[in-house]
Amino acid sequence: MRRRDLFRMGGLAALGAAGAACGSGGGGTGAAGSTELQFMYWGSTFEKAAIEKMLKAFEQKNPDIKVKPVFTPDEYDVKLNSLVAGGRTPDVGYVPMSMSFRLAEQGNLVNLHPYLQKYPQLAGYLPDAYLWYGQDKLHGVSTANEIELLWYSKSAIAAAGLAPPPAVAASAWSWDQLVENAYKLTVDQNGKHPDESGFDPGQVRQFGISISLTYAAAWYGFLRSNGADFADEAGRKCLLDTPESVQVFQNLQDLVYKHRVAPGPGQLAATGDDVPGTNILLKTKRVAMVVDGHWALLDMNESKVDYGIGVLPKYGEPFTTSQVAGASSVFAGTKHVEEAVELFAFHIDPRYVDLYKQGLWMPQERKYYEDQAAIDSWTKNDAHPPEFRTAVVDYGRDHGVPDLRNRVKNLSAISSDVLTPALQELESGKRPAAEILKAVTPKITGMLQGWQHTQEP
Amino acid sequence: MNKPGLSGQRRLERRWGVLMALPAILGFVIFTAGPMVASFVFSLTDWQVGGTPEFVGLGNYTELARDELFWTSLSATTYYTLGAVPLVLIVSFAVAMLLNQKVRGLPVWRTIFYLPTLVPAIANVVLWIWIFNPDFGLLNSLLRQAGLPAGQWIYDESMAIPSLIVMSTWGFGNTMVIFLAGLQGVPRHLYEAVSIDGGGAWRRFWHVTLPMMTPTIFYNLVVGVVGTFQVFNQAYVMTEGGPNNATLFYVYYLFRMAFRESEMGYASALAWVLFMIIVVITFLLFRNARRWVYYEMAGAR
């Protein structure tokens, strides 16, 4: 081929590329009157696929609206803060609880209270789902109801010859029963249990139980179950130094250092402080039982884990933390408020979204917990195991207490400055719970600003 | 005949000179000087991301003095600096001296010692997370096999910063190369003079190598101190400032205030205080250098 021919073909290719660019540019503009929205969210790769499917369903139902997904699996709060600072917020999306109330108070989120009439299903939510930031001021709802559960490996339980953790709240294990069973489930590389001589705590092959100490949703249910709480009725005085609170935290610390049935700091870590997902921990039998949120169900099924679901152990009345999710909100910077609210309502409506059937989300509307046909519409499928009805639906409805992040003002600063460091010290096992909590409680009291507003919708 | 003022040619050259330098000038003004001024203005405001800045004068600076975490982060960073800088200087100087010998395969050895520097920062951190893991990490595995006590390393309050200090030596390649260049600049005749007078290896090191290397040591010291005071990656990826704020390095705390707690005004004040601290330390280092840094050329300083 001669040089001149080569140049001529190159020129044709360039023209072709330019033409294609013009064509796609024209297509991007779309017909007159169409709307483009941005939906920003986080999640695993499985969740990403599920959300994109939901957004396509929305586009099919609303042909004039195009939705651009903005998937942000890491550093969501940092990115969202940058977008807020730059005045380039998305239209709709997840908002971390650590910043949603602040953004709302600054006027950066749409007040959704007026829209409850237009979207009656939004008015029939579980009371704790609403995120009020003042009288008749609603900045969003928890994206989904999520509760803390006791996930376990069926084969690990069977290998130890144990009965599975109870799936009915009335039969929930006591704390002592949890510890007793965790002993039987914990083995070192030589097959020894922690209560046997020769057990090597530095070489554990399978831990019996893993409950995060630094993740408040994991222990708040135990706190309430023992008759304690984070703060008093006014939300101004921290109560973590009461004997009931201290007992809970001491028991959690003892799992690691006294009973040695739970992993200490770093023992599960694969990348820094990030612990592998519960699906990985159970599948590899690194841990036999894990306290984790309901959202683990999607990854459990996708990873084909041989799992079971139990309710949390109890002290007195059984409790589990509920509404453990970020907020879903509409950003005030949107140029298309009506369409954005439409997408907001759609993305959490079980009639149109299959994330509920797939197991990632639980609905917020009361009827999906009370009406049998409605319950069946999202739970009667392969993604939901037989024990789901009692261990999750009934348990969440009857024994859920809302997560602290939805209820305590200024919790983000309290957590990062005071509470998390104290819990990390607790996790290190160097001082007993009573000492640590006695020192930290006055500091937290000094930062408390009361509970968030609540009202009827 | 000379015209008054610049000649046409000179004037033309000046205009073109400024024009050619304009990208660098604009880059500095827009991306460095401008943001610096802006951050100083912000440091005088109470400004949360998404809200309106409210002028508070020196309020952020007085609040900072009362902030327990400010002092914690300063303490953690100072501890890290005092440990990491001397260790890196000693290790890299020692290795540079080894690599300054006449041995077979020298380029290969120099390359091997430099390689860790090529590992990207985040990849380096993730690698060391695996090394420090209490259960299956490389470090504890080796210690157990040798019958020595294993540690919790970055997961233990008292061991976290020493662990990071040890980790910091791994990237000594750049410092080593600078030392190597300096060593190769030491005049051979000085070594010969010492040898003629009967001095051995130790005397050659103490009386020739070390004095002649003081300018290079000083340079690496200043660069090391300035760099370690801005340590961030380890806290960001590995420890998130934990456990119990043991590794709450200053810049990580600044980052957290700016982008997690959204306190831009306060974070800007933190940045300016760090700037002033580094300026003061550098000034003190330069003043102290007069007493121990030797320059061969008289009056050069």
Which of the residue ranges A9-13, A304-308, A349-353 would you say has the lowest mean pLDDT?
A9-13
Return the pLDDT at B71: 96
Handedness of CA A228, A230, A233, A236 (dihedral sign): positive
A423 pLDDT more than 60: yes
Instruction: Report pLDDT digits (tens) over A225-282.
Output: 999 999 999 999 999 999 999 999 999 999 999 999 999 887 886 544 567 889 999 9
- Which domains, ranges and CATH numbers included, belong to chain A? 35-144+324-349 (3.40.190.10), 148-322+404-451 (3.40.190.10)
A354 pLDDT more than 90: no
Average pLDDT, chain A: 89
Distance CA B199, CA B188 (A): 14
Work out the average pLDDT over B201-226: 93
B89 within 8 A of B220, measured Cβ to Cβ: yes
Return the pLDDT at A347: 93
Work out the average pLDDT over A151-175: 96
Q: Would you call B184 exposed, middle or buried from its count of C-beta atoms within 10 A (0-12, 13-18, 19+)?
A: exposed
Work out the average pLDDT over B62-68: 92
Note whether A103 contacts B50, CB cutoff 8 Å.
yes
Instruction: Report pLDDT digits (tens) over A127-157.
Output: 999 999 999 999 999 999 999 999 999 999 9
CA-based nearest distance A355→chain B, Å: 29
- Backbone φ/ψ region at B96: left (φ over 0), alpha (ψ -120 to 50), beta: alpha
Using an 8 Å CB-CB cutoff, list chain A residues near B135: 202-204, 266-267
Using an 8 Å CB-CB cutoff, list chain A residues near B123: none
Distance CA A157, CA A234 (A): 43
CA-based nearest distance B144→chain A, Å: 10
A27 pLDDT more than 60: no
Distance CA A44, CA A49 (A): 9
Burial B19-53 (b: 16+ CB within 10 A, else e): eeeeeeeeeeeeeeeeeeeebeebbbbbbbbbbee
Residue of B nearest to A419 (CA): B244
Among chain A, residues having any CB pair with chain B shorter than 8 Å are: 77-78, 81-82, 84-85, 98-99, 102-103, 106, 108, 202-204, 264-267, 269-273, 412-413, 416-417, 420-422, 424-425, 427-428, 430
Instruction: Report pLDDT digits (tens) over A191-234.
Output: 999 999 999 888 899 999 999 999 999 999 999 999 999 999 99
Work out the average pLDDT over A94-100: 92
Return the pLDDT at B4: 63
Note whether A264 contacts B134, CB cutoff 8 Å.
yes
Using an 8 Å CB-CB cutoff, list chain B residues near A85: 49-50, 264
B108 pLDDT more than 70: yes
Own/partner contacts of A210-213, CB < 8 Å, gap of 24 or more, are A210/A262, A210/A263, A210/A268, A210/A275, A210/A281, A210/A287, A210/A289, A210/A290, A210/A291, A211/A252, A211/A255, A211/A262, A211/A290, A211/A291, A212/A275, A212/A291, A213/A249, A213/A252, A213/A253, A213/A423, A213/A426, A213/A427
B156: nearest CB among A85, A420, A428: A428
Instruction: Report pLDDT digits (tens) over B240-299.
Output: 898 899 999 999 999 999 988 889 999 999 999 999 999 999 999 999 998 889 887 765
DSSP state of B263: B
- Residue A421: is the preceding peptide bond cis (ω within 30°)? no
Note whether B261 contacts A421, CB cutoff 8 Å.
no
CB pairs under 8 A between A and B: 94
Return the pLDDT at B136: 81
Note whether B155 contacts A78, CB cutoff 8 Å.
no
B1 pLDDT more than 70: no
Question: ipTM exceeding 0.90?
Answer: no
Note whether B242 contacts A420, CB cutoff 8 Å.
yes
A265: nearest CB among B51, B155, B237: B155
CA-based nearest distance B232→chain A, Å: 14
Query: From the candidates A106, A214, A331, A415, which should be mutated to test the interface with B, based on the most B CB atoms within 10 A?
Result: A106
B301 pLDDT more than 60: no
Please give the backbone phi and psi of residue B71, each rounded to the nearest 5 degrees, phi first. -70, -35
Note whether A266 contacts B238, CB cutoff 8 Å.
no
pLDDT, greater one: B124 or A29: B124
CA-based nearest distance B242→chain A, Å: 7
DSSP state of B50: T
Note whether A202 contacts B244, CB cutoff 8 Å.
no
Using an 8 Å CB-CB cutoff, list chain A residues near B240: 272-273
Rg (CA), chain B: 25
